[in-house]
Structure 1
Amino acid sequence: MKTKFLIIITLLTLFVLPSQGQTQQDSIRNTTQQIEKQIKVLQPQAPIYQLFPTENIWALIKLDTRNGKMWQVHFTISKDGYEGELVLNSNSLVWTEEEEEIAGRFTLYPTKNTYNFILLDQIDGRTYQVQWNNEKEKRFISRIY
């Protein structure tokens, strides 16, 4: 009787304990995965488009932060004022297939000159002079070497 009892306890120990350990590992793994998902959700995403103020209270520059495309945005509060977007740069500044269009890649920095900004590629460091203006022939973007 004593031998049967020891055999039953031994068998129960061998079968019950490993299954409980596995359950705890699965539970820990699931909890870890849930925490990782929550962390990913909480990480801020860089915006695709950003507006940068100019010295002109009626004009801003809209930048596609993935590829450096830009528009001069005008708004008005009067019926006679100009409202709309003018193209500053319609070409992607991400040149090769190896490079990626990543949100937040490009950003603008104002200069002391009212009509000029510096565009920075924050991945490879390329810089560009950006000049906005109401007159088309005075608007341009030029690589700074």
Structure 2
Amino acid sequence: MRQVLLCTLFMCLPILGHAQIKGGQNLLDSIHIEVKDIAQQLAKQYVDGVFSNTYKLYKTENIYIFLRLNTSNGKIDLVQWNLDRDKEFITVLNDVDLTYGISIGNHNGRFELYPTQNMYQFLLLDKNLGSMWHVQWGFDSEKRWIVPIKN
């Protein structure tokens, strides 16, 4: 009787061991799926943060001119649209990275343009540090400039 019991136990051990391995594998598979889902969500949040709201268009009083601001670094382009495709263009107003390599807080949305009473002039604000610039757009390159406003 004892031998039959031992023999039955030894015959069942591989089945029990396989069940434990299979159950453990199922657990590992479900953990792998969870980790993969979390990694995908984090990657999507990072990509969305990098690429969303980077640029913003500002109307001027000239119906054909917009200012395109890179809200993460303060670079500005002048955009002229027109029904005549030959008259459309984009030109640089400011190509200097105004963060000067200082990365504080949210990157996108860091800079904002504010119109003044003069249709050609705006104020540019670094919302993280409070720094400000006087911006002027114009049709001629010598009439487009940006200068810091000193504290």
Instruction: Using structure 2 for the length normalisation, give the TM-score.
Output: 0.67
Are residue 22 (structure 1) and residue 24 (structure 2) matched?
A: yes
Partner-residue secondary structure (3-state), 1:93: coil
Contact 1:108–1:117 (8 Å) recurs in 2:
no
1 CA distance for matches of 2:20 and 2:122? 66
User: For residue 28 of structure 1, what is the amino acid of its counterpart?
Assistant: S
Partner-residue secondary structure (3-state), 2:146: strand
Are residue 76 (structure 1) and residue 79 (structure 2) matched?
A: no
Q: Deviations over 1:78-105 (max 9, x none)?
A: 59x9543343212222324x649x9625
Q: Deviations over 1:35-81 (max 9, x none)?
A: 224424653332544432222211001223443221211122359x9
What is the number of residues matched between the two proteins? Answer: 141
Contact 2:138–2:144 (8 Å) recurs in 1:
yes
| Structure 2, unaligned runs of 5 or more | none
Percent same amino acid at aligned positions?
25
Change in Cα spacing, 1:2 to 1:122, as seen in structure 2 (3 Å) is same
Partner-residue secondary structure (3-state), 1:110: strand
Partner-residue secondary structure (3-state), 2:24: helix
Change in Cα spacing, 1:41 to 1:7, as seen in structure 2 (3 Å) is same
Are residue 85 (structure 1) and residue 87 (structure 2) matched?
A: no
- Equivalent residue, structure 1, for 2:115: 111
Instruction: Within 5 Å, give how 1:94-133 maps onto structure 2.
Output: 94-96=99-101, 99=103, 104=108, 106-113=110-117, 114-133=119-138
1 CA distance for matches of 2:123 and 2:38? 38
- Equivalent residue, structure 1, for 2:65: 59
Q: Deviations over 1:101-128 (max 9, x none)?
A: x962543333342333333335444332
